[in-house]
């Protein structure tokens, strides 16, 4: 059986026109989501790194429900490295996959202690060398804990980038590069938060609410039927 061919929305032919549309979309989302932000609770880079790693295969709300106890019990990388496995698993149990997540956090803590003196590095190159940390997690940490612009391509950002005609790629790294080519670097982090807010609230995967969409007039996919 041959794979179904992906159908992409039409988009402006010139890069200049695509950039103009992308900036207009970002401006509109800025007005509509003035409270856009990282929805994981944290107070320092380690807490954000841990919360982001835990957010895989679960929701930010659920992660936030267990992190107060987690962060109080394990305030430093050394604490994760030396954690009692059963105690850590017990805290993580509500998230699902608690054994795998406990193992991941213990390995992450050990790597931070061994290679970085227990501190979270502030470069993409060093972050992605840590166990369980990919580009998405690294960019979340860079943009929100260190103020270093990064493009976080989660399922929402990838979906909206394709619907908006910003990218025709499925590979997150290629989507990241396409977005980087359209928006000013200083907007990267917040633009992703706005897209995520919009993807969770209006432009959902199953049933996008195009009638309530504040950027419908800028969207080449409007109306979205799937």
What angle is formed at CA 26 by the lines to CA 193 and CA 200, rounded to 5 degrees? Answer: 40
Chain CA centroid to CA 89, Å: 24
136 is catalytic: yes
User: Helices 45-54 & 60-73, crossing angle to 10 degrees?
Assistant: 130
Whole-number Cα distances in Å, 69 to 53, 74, 79, 91, 208: 16, 9, 13, 7, 36
b/e per residue, 126-165, with b = 16+ CB within 10 A?
Answer: ebeebebbebbbbbbbbbbbbebbbbbbbebbbbbbbbbb
Exactly one of 84, 154, 174, 178 is catalytic; which is it? 154
Contact 122, 142 (CB under 8 A): yes
Instruction: Mark out the alpha helices in 95-171 (DSSP H runs).
Output: 98-116, 124-127, 135-145, 155-163
The active-site residue out of 103, 136, 181, 207 is 136
* Residues written for the chain: 226
Catalytic center residues:
136, 154
């Amino acid at each position: 059986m041959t794979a179904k061919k992906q159908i992409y929305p039409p988009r402006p032919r010139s890069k200049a026109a695509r950039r103009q549309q992308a900036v207009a979309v970002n401006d509109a989302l800025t007005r509509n989501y003035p409270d856009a932000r990282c929805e994981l609770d944290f107070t320092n880079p380690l807490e954000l790194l841990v919360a982001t790693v835990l957010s895989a295969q679960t929701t930010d709300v659920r992660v936030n429900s267990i992190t107060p106890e987690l962060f109080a019990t394990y305030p430093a990388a050394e604490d994760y490295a030396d954690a009692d496995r059963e105690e850590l698993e017990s805290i993580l149990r509500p998230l699902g996959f608690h054994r795998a997540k406990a193992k991941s956090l213990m390995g992450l803590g050990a790597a931070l202690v061994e290679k970085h003196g227990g501190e979270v590095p502030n470069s993409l190159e060093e972050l992605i060398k840590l166990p369980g940390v990919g580009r998405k997690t690294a960019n979340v940490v860079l943009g929100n804990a260190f103020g270093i612009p990064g493009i976080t391509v989660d399922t929402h950002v990838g979906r909206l980038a394709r619907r908006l005609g910003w990218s025709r790629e499925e590979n997150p790294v290629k989507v990241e590069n396409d977005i980087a080519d359209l928006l000013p670097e200083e907007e990267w982090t917040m633009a992703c938060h706005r897209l995520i807010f919009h993807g969770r609230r209006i432009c959902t995967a199953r049933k996008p609410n195009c009638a309530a969409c504040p950027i419908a007039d800028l969207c080449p996919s409007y109306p979205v039927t799937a």
